[in-house]
Structure 1
Amino acid sequence: MPLIGTGRVWPGKSEYYEVVLRAYVTYSIYVLPDRSSVDFDVRVYDENGNLVAYDVAPDADAACTITPRWTGGFRIFVDSARGMANYTLSIQP
C-alpha cells in the first residue's frame, strides 16, 4: 500500500486518512510536501483514539514508523505547523 493519498494543508488545517494495518508488520509512514519552506507533521491514532506514532519535528517532511499489536483501523493525520503546500502520503511495509 505505498501511496495513500495526496492533498493540500495549511496552518490550522488537518487532513486524515483511514487505513487498515496488519498486526506485527512494521510500517514506515512518509509525508512529502512539494515545498521545502513548510513544516508538516504526521500523527497516527489507533481505532480507540490513542496516539500511537507521530513526527512533529520542525522539518518540511514528516516520517514515523509503527508496528501494530493487532490488525485494525488506524487514522493518519497530516498537519501543517507552518506554511501551505501540496503533499503526498505514503506507507511502506
Structure 2
Amino acid sequence: MLKTVSVAALCLSVALPALAEDKKQNVMVGASGTPGAVSQMELAQQLYAVGVANADALTVLTAAKLAAGVELKDTDRKKETKGDAPAEDAEGGAEAPVDAAAMLAKAKELAGEDETLVGLVEDAEAEGSRGRIGGASSTLSRLPAGMTDVWEIPFYGESYAEIGVLGDGDSNLDVLVTDENGNTICYDVSWSDKVYCDFTPAWNGYFYVTVQNTGSVRNSYYLMTN
C-alpha cells in the first residue's frame, strides 16, 4: 500500500512532473477505510505473478479465485497522453493484464497430473463468478514505451478512495497521484507495473494519475478505481 506523502519528501530520479505544494492538500490525514474490489484485484495480480514464478498451482489458483470475485465495469475516462511517440511501437507480449480465466488455465497447467489440484481448479471453474463484489471501474490503456498517460479522476470528499494501476507485466510503470492543487497523494517508482493507492479526500475534487512507461515495449494496463 502506498503512503500519503508531502512533496518535500519526494525526490525522484525519473521524469515525473515536478510539483509545488503551496495549497492545501485534499486528503484527510489519519482517515481510513476498508479496502475493496480494487485492492482485491491488485492482490490477485501480485499473487499470480508469485505463483507463476514459483510454478505453484495453488498460489495461482488462489489468485484466480480472488480475480473471479471482482466485478469490473468498463468506464470511459478523461486522459491525455504525452511524450514523443517511438518510431516503432514495440508491442509487448500481452494485450491486457491476466484475467481470472487465464489464471485458472495456468493453475491447471501447473497442477499437471496432481488429481487433487486439478479437482480444485475444476471446482473453481464451475463456481465461476458467483458472489462477486462490485464497486470497481476499469479502463484499458495501451501505453507505448517512453510515453506518459495523465488521467483526471473525480472523487467525493470524506469518502474512501482506491486507485489501482495493473500492468500486463511487459514493462515498468511509474505512477504519481496528485490533487487539483498539485500536492502529491501517492507515488511509486519501484520496478513494477502494479500499483495500489488509497486515501480519503477532504472535499469533492479531481485527482490526477500520471502513469509513465519507462520500459522499452508497450504496456497494456488497467486503471482501476472504486
Alignment TM-score > 0.5, same fold: yes
Residue 6 in 1 paired to residue 141 in 2?
yes
C-alpha contact 1:56 1:62 (8 A) present in aligned 2: no
Residue in 1 that maps onto 2:173: 40
Residue in 2 that maps onto 1:75: 208
Q: Which has the higher contact order (CA 8 A, sep 6+)?
A: 1
For structure 1, the residue ranges without an aligned partner over 5 or more in a row are none
Higher helix fraction (1 or 2): 2
> Cα RMSD (Å) of the superposition?
1.8
Residue in 2 that maps onto 1:87: 221
C-alpha contact 1:21 1:71 (8 A) present in aligned 2: yes
C-alpha contact 2:167 2:222 (8 A) present in aligned 1: yes
Cα gap change, 1:26 to 1:41, in 2 (>3 Å): farther
Deviations 1:25-70 (A, max 9, x none): 2222111122x24111221111111111122221132221121111
Q: Could you list the runs of 4 or more consecutive aligned residues of structure 1 that deviate by over 6 angstroms after TM superposition? A: none
For this pair of structures, how many residues does the alignment match? 90
C-alpha contact 2:165 2:221 (8 A) present in aligned 1: yes
Higher strand fraction (1 or 2): 1
Cα gap change, 1:26 to 1:4, in 2 (>3 Å): farther
For structure 2, the residue ranges without an aligned partner over 5 or more in a row are 1-135
Give, as a single letter, the amino acid of the residue that structure 2 aligns with 1:7.
R
Q: Structure 2 length normalisation: TM-score? A: 0.36
What CA distance in whole angstroms lies between the structure 2 residues aligned with 1:60 and 1:49? 23
Identity of aligned residues (%): 28
Give, as a single letter, the amino acid of the residue that structure 1 aligns with 2:208.
R
C-alpha contact 1:33 1:40 (8 A) present in aligned 2: yes
Cα gap change, 1:25 to 1:55, in 2 (>3 Å): farther
Cα gap change, 1:59 to 1:74, in 2 (>3 Å): same
**How far apart are 1:5 and its partner, in Å?**
4.7
Q: Among residues 162, 171, 175, which one is paired with 1:28 in the alignment?
A: 162
Residue 65 in 1 paired to residue 198 in 2?
yes
What CA distance in whole angstroms lies between the structure 1 residues aligned with 2:201 and 2:192? 25
User: Larger Cα Rg: Structure 1 or Structure 2?
Assistant: 2
Cα gap change, 1:70 to 1:18, in 2 (>3 Å): same
